[in-house]
């Protein structure tokens, strides 16, 4: 009997020791990770805020890429520790000096406005074949050049017996045909194009000083259609896919003078009719007013009334503000690249791209115009002094370092 009690006691002792050992193992398994492991986790998820359970890492970390939660994107002049975008060696397209501007690029073509031989022309350059050709047929002023695929659109001027009327013209680079898509009965200004959809300001229902409505044209079907019509002033449309953006003023707004009323920027879906007020926008009553708001895909960029550049994601319905040293004369957005007055940024990484290497001291120059389709960058160099119109056009392609 005594032997039996000793055996039972031994078994119970072993069981108690086993339970204690299991508890110790569980206790150590529930502790926080050692600093080395936590640091590795932090490096692999920089964009995710550190949770309270993770220890603080005292060593410096790489710059945090922009979150998509709506916080400000800081555009820095220092390249973050990422693989940067770089440009191939540039190629000069033009060989003779001339005043040039209104640069646009898409795919194989670069287009621009040029004043040569005593008149203003629209010129198209094929990057694959090296062919340069004039595609406009009428004399007179030309502005608001845009290109999408094989179609080029611009604002032209038609002189009738009693007046001068701005109209919208389209050129098919494949078919070699020019087409007038707006009426000479009223002003049609500031066209833009995406795919086979053209939009413009239309003056058939003119309200005071404002060419008040926005109309569109389907090049595939050959049909005109209203986009935004009604009371108020709806101006300077830009289009990408089924979305257009435009500046909007209420009825009776004052658009002229040194201190015009400031508009709001709207996004309008062509197919559904949805109209979104994106917020206050900047308007200065000058020739650059249509170049301070841009759209590419579902991303909108504009200069706000507050002087900052804003980004809005139409798919996610989120807004971000770009802060830093910015210049606002002429916004160009395509894909991940945003140009602000000759300064190019990758908005996905906040990196500044420096494409323009300075010329020699004997031949200084400055950039007057810039365009990109996200794959090719084109720009115009003029002389360093005001009024120098050398009009040298260059192109280069984006690539990624291995």
The pLDDT score that the predictor gives to residue 345 is 78
The pLDDT score that the predictor gives to residue 80 is 39
The pLDDT score that the predictor gives to residue 138 is 84
* DSSP states of 210-254: B--EEEEEETTTTEEEEEE-SSSEEEEEEEETTEEEEEEE-TT--
Q: With 80 as the cut, is the pLDDT of residue 236 above it?
A: yes
Mean pLDDT within 278-292: 81
Q: Could you list the beta-strand ranges (E) of 42-99.
A: 73-74, 85-87, 91-92
- Pairing between strand 351-353 and 91-92? unpaired
CATH H superfamily, domain 73-400:
TolB, C-terminal domain (2.120.10.30)
d(CA 194, CA 215): 14
Mean pLDDT within 108-121: 92
The pLDDT score that the predictor gives to residue 69 is 44
- Predicted TM-score (pTM) of the model is 0.75
d(CA 208, CA 228): 17
Question: Residues 125-142: pLDDT tens digits?
Answer: 999 999 999 999 888 889
Compute the CA torsion angle 171, 342, 327, 113 (nearest 10 deg): -30
The pLDDT score that the predictor gives to residue 205 is 83
Q: With 90 as the cut, is the pLDDT of residue 238 above it?
A: yes
Given the structure tokens 């110790």, which residue do they identify?
24
The pLDDT score that the predictor gives to residue 131 is 95
Question: Residues 346-393: pLDDT tens digits?
Answer: 777 777 776 655 444 445 567 778 888 888 989 888 876 666 778 999
227 Cβ neighbours under 8 A, 6+ residues apart: 199, 213, 214, 215, 216, 237, 244, 268, 270
What percentage of the chain exceeds 70 in pLDDT? Answer: 69
Question: Residues 39-50: pLDDT tens digits?
Answer: 232 222 223 334
- Pairing between strand 293-296 and 275-280? unpaired
d(CA 167, CA 202): 9
- Mean per-residue pLDDT over the chain, rounded: 77
Q: With 80 as the cut, is the pLDDT of residue 78 above it?
A: no
Q: What is the CA radius of gyration of the chain?
A: 30
Q: Give residue 300's pLDDT band: very low, low, confident or very high (50, 70, 90).
A: very high
């Amino acid at each position: 009997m005594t032997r039996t009690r000793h055996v039972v006691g031994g078994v119970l002792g072993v069981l108690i020791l086993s339970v204690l050992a299991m508890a110790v193992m569980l206790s150590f398994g529930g502790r926080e990770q050692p600093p080395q492991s936590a640091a590795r986790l932090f490096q692999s998820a920089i964009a995710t805020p550190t949770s309270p359970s993770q220890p603080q890492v005292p060593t410096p970390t790489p710059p945090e890429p922009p979150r998509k939660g709506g916080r400000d994107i800081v555009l820095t002049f220092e390249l973050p520790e990422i693989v940067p975008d770089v440009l191939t060696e540039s190629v000069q397209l033009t060989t003779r000096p001339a005043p040039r501007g209104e640069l646009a690029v898409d795919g194989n073509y670069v287009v621009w406005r040029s004043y040569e031989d005593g008149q203003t022309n629209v010129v198209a350059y094929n990057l694959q074949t090296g062919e340069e050709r004039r595609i406009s047929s009428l004399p007179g002023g030309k502005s608001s050049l845009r290109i999408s695929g094989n179609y080029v659109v611009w604002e032209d001027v038609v002189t009738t017996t009693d007046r001068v009327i701005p109209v919208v013209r389209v050129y098919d680079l494949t078919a070699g045909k020019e087409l007038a898509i707006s009426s000479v009965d009223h002003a049609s200004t500031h066209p833009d194009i995406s795919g086979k959809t053209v939009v413009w300001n239309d003056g058939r229902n003119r309200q005071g000083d404002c060419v008040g409505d926005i109309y569109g044209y389907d090049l595939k079907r050959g049909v005109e259609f209203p986009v935004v019509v009604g009371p108020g002033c709806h101006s300077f449309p830009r289009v990408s896919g089924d979305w257009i953006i435009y500046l909007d003023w209420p009825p009776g707004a004052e658009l002229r003078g040194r201190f015009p009323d400031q508009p709001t920027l709207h996004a309008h879906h062509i197919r559904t009719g949805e109209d979104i007020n994106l917020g206050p926008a900047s308007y200065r009553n000058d020739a650059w007013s249509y170049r301070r708001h841009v759209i590419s895909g579902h991303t909108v960029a504009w200069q706000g009334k507050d002087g900052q550049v804003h980004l809005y994601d139409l798919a996610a319905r989120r807004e971000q503000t770009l802060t830093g040293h910015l210049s606002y004369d002429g916004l160009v957005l395509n894909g991940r690249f945003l140009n602000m007055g000759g300064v190019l940024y990758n908005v996905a990484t906040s990196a500044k791209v420096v494409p323009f290497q300075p010329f020699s001291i004997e031949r200084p120059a400055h950039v007057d115009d810039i365009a990109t389709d996200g794959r090719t960058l084109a720009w115009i160099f003029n002389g360093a002094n005001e009024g120098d119109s050398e009009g040298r056009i260059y192109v280069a392609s984006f690539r990624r370092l291995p």
